[in-house]
Amino acid sequence: MNAEGDDLLQLVKQGRGTKLDWLGENAALETIAAVLTAMANTAGGTLVLGMVGPVASTTGVRDTESAVDRVLQAALAIDPALIVPMPRVLRTQERAFVVVNVPSGLPHVYAYDGRFLQRQGNENVSLKPRDLRRLMIQRGEASFEMEVAAGASLDDLDWDKAKAYVASLSGISETQVDKVLLKRGCLVMQDGRARPTHAGILLFGKDPLRFVRGAEIVATRFSGVEMGDHFERIDITGSLPDQLRRAETFLLDHLRKGVQLGKTMARDEQFEYPLEAARELVVNAVAHRDYSIAGDSIHLFIFKDRMEVTSPGGLPGPITIANIRSERFSRNPVIVQVLSDMGFIERLGYGVDRVMALMEERQLRPPSFVEMSGGFGVTLHNEKPEHAEPAGEAAQEKATIDLKGEYRQQPINPRQETALVYLLSGNSRITNSDLQQMHPDVHPETIRRDLSDLVSKSILRKLGEKRGSYYILQPESTA
């Protein structure tokens, strides 16, 4: 028995399922084609010729050349022709088997004899119309963003935003706003009049959620490492450019800052993740999510030890987790183009490679990717990998204060953490004005409440009156 044959038997012991099936040597071409079609439309898989029965009786293949030819004929009979690796002949227990692997992440939707099939357990079943449409959108053979938004009219667009967009474009001869939007795919002609597409509504709509349910970002900061009762959440709605700007503000407000102190006590603040990496993940989620999936949103979750961005829809077209750093494909080319025109281009380079490089520069763990049922997620981790080496003498001379969202076993928000790090870094007092300068986009009343809350938790003590008031650490807080 050779190693590959042994691996085959171990694989078969797992049983027939979505990604594994077997047939006898003389299985009809039609039967082989149906299995290959269904696997190609699902997540790929392995088909073995030379086994029969529900528990895989190993009859083997006597005429391997003929069996290989029949597999290739079956693949060519599929519409469009299914290109698979050359079937392999494996030998074990003095028998031969023909093994064909169907890759995942194929670029088309496949049919055999007019039927669009998918794997459901160990069966091949017809795709329902809704699932077929979603698969076509996912693989780029249909375009949700270019469809007319049902019930939408030109009055549902914010024309001031559209005019500002067109005015910002350079190198184009056309200046009439509606004609530029037609060229970009934000409008299409239907029955002799211009109608907004889903892309147009998402990019320039007054109320995109009215026409594209779930077109929002749910952003939440949790105090611990799991979802709990203590969190800050906002639902970010509006046009996609507005969502990106508000999401960036959320990141600035809720990502923690670690303070490094050198020998001269000079303060060097850094976000817990490279800000450009965090920003890139959100932009890519907005640009590339599957907007045809109604009722689900992009989720931006910040925990004590990680940041997660998940979006509806699997990886588009031929993209897989294995090739995500190098492959290029977008299910929303109109949205990508307009966001690029608007100046988000540095954040739109299908920037997984950029994110990984930024995390490596900071000596943080590489991001992790997961494709789940109906969605895709990326996670940034704020700890260093176990094998990370100190980044030279300069790094060794610094001490990092990182409270990780709590102090004296009490949860604190990022603004409160900034205040405490400031005091722990050698400053004897802090005022409302000091903290306001560190968070200029936050309302003064929010700053006042943050400091008052630390007083109520017996972490800070307030001294002075009115404009002359300031805060110091309670003595027991420094023990």
pLDDT value for 426 = 72
Q: Is residue 394 part of a domain?
A: no
In this structure, are residues 401 and 259 in contact, taking their beta carbons and an 8 Å threshold?
Answer: yes
User: Kind and range of the H or E element at 407?
Assistant: strand 406-407
**Shared domain check, 425 and 453:** yes
pLDDT band at 392 (very low <50, low <70, confident <90, very high): very low
Which of the residue ranges 203-207, 223-227, 422-426 would you say has the lowest mean pLDDT?
422-426
Phi, psi of 288 (to 5 degrees): -115, 0
Cis bond leading into 80, ω under 30°?
Answer: yes
Q: How far apart are CA 479 and CA 477, in angstroms?
A: 6
pTM: 0.64
Q: Angle between the 159-168 and 177-184 helix axes, to the nearest 10 degrees?
A: 80
Mean pLDDT: which of 96-105, 202-211, 272-281, 446-455 is highest?
A: 202-211
Q: Is residue 396 part of a domain?
A: no
Q: β-strand 217-222 against 298-302: which pairing, if any?
A: parallel
pLDDT band at 347 (very low <50, low <70, confident <90, very high): very low
Query: What residue type is assigned to position 307 of the chain?
Result: M
Q: Report whether pLDDT(469) > 70.
A: yes
Q: Is residue 436 part of a domain?
A: yes
**Shared domain check, 244 and 372:** yes
In angstroms, the first-to-last Cα distance of the chain is 68
Angle 405-410-411 from CA coordinates, rounded to 5°? 35
pLDDT value for 429 = 86
Q: Report whether pLDDT(399) > 90.
A: no
User: Kind and range of the H or E element at 247?
Assistant: helix 240-254
Count of structural domains within the chain: 4
Check which CATH number belongs to the domain holding 324 and give it.
3.30.565.60
pLDDT value for 214 = 93
Q: Is residue 240 part of a domain?
A: yes
**Shared domain check, 315 and 252:** yes
Expressed as residue numbers, the domain containing 51 is 3-127
The closest alpha carbon to 286, from 342, 242, 222, belongs to 242
In this structure, are residues 291 and 144 in contact, taking their beta carbons and an 8 Å threshold?
Answer: yes
Which of the residue ranges 71-80, 243-252, 347-356 would you say has the lowest mean pLDDT?
347-356
**Shared domain check, 229 and 100:** no
44: left (phi over 0), alpha (psi -120 to 50) or beta: left
Q: How many other CB atoms sit within 10 Å of the CB of residue 318?
A: 17
**Shared domain check, 367 and 263:** yes
Q: What percent of the chain has pLDDT over 90?
A: 45
**Shared domain check, 419 and 372:** no
**Shared domain check, 363 and 248:** yes
User: Kind and range of the H or E element at 100?
Assistant: strand 95-102
Long-range CB contacts for residues 3-9, cutoff 8 Å, separation at least 24: 4/88, 4/90, 5/90, 5/91, 5/92, 5/93, 5/97, 6/92, 8/48, 8/90, 8/92, 8/97, 8/99, 9/92, 9/93
- Contact partners, residue 144, CB within 8 Å, separation at least 6: 137, 198, 290, 291, 292
Q: Is residue 40 part of a domain?
A: yes
The closest alpha carbon to 143, from 114, 193, 185, belongs to 185
Sole residue written with tokens 């998940």: 310
**Shared domain check, 268 and 348:** yes
> What would the pLDDT profile of 286-321 be if each residue is shown by its tens digit?
998 999 988 789 999 999 899 999 999 887 767 778
Half-sphere exposure of 59 (CA within 13 A, CB side): 17
In this structure, are residues 168 and 120 in contact, taking their beta carbons and an 8 Å threshold?
Answer: no
pLDDT band at 400 (very low <50, low <70, confident <90, very high): low
Residue where a domain stops, chosen among 72, 92, 127: 127
472 bridge partner residues: 461
Check which CATH number belongs to the domain holding 111 and give it.
3.30.950.30
- Report, as an integer, the average pLDDT of 237-262: 84
